[in-house]
Amino acid sequence: MRSWLPLLLFILLGSFVQAKPALPAPVPKPAPSVALSTVKSFRDWKAEKVQAATQQVDRSRLAVKNLKAQGRGGASLENAQQELSQDEWNLEVAGDLSVTDYLALYLAQNSGGTKLTEAAGKLSADEIAQVLEAYIHSMGTFAADSRVNLPIHALQGR
């Protein structure tokens, strides 16, 4: 009977070890996403354009100021002043950029894959309305100066 005792203990302990619930395997934390957004929102795109134009105006103003401080006039000062005038106009244009400019100048060149979907997710409700209005006007369905007034049954899905 003693010869069975170690075997019995082995079987009992073996089944006890097997019967213990296994600890769950540690779940690895997902790695932080390194694929950052590649599409700029309208606000970011416009802010970037305005910032670049502002920096250019500042450089041109400094160039004019330096030429005046050095007492250099003539053609070089005139060219610098013309460049400053152009840069100031470019800054004004950058400040007036619209969602349709964003579509035509930025998204049209950077479309493909999921980029349009990503860009659409970054638009505000007002920006989406501007896109839709521009699209409707581009179809030539409505006069450019009129507001779109759809009949109520069109809005109800009839």
Per-residue pLDDT tens over the stretch 23-35? 555 666 655 544 5
Asked if residues 115 and 39 have their Cβ atoms less than 8 Å apart, the reply is yes
In a domain? residue 5: no
Position with higher pLDDT, 9 vs 88: 88
The parent domain of residue 96 ranges over 38-155
User: In this predicted structure, what is the pLDDT of residue 29?
Assistant: 60
Exposure string over 96-134, b if 16+ CB within 10 A, otherwise e: ebebebbbeebbeeeeeeeeeeebeeebeeebeebbeee
In a domain? residue 138: yes
In a domain? residue 19: no
Its sign, for the CA torsion 78, 80, 86, 89, is negative
In a domain? residue 59: yes
In a domain? residue 82: yes
In a domain? residue 148: yes
What is the number of structural domains in the chain?
A: 1
In a domain? residue 53: yes
Q: Tell me the pLDDT band of 85, cut-offs 50, 70 and 90.
A: very high
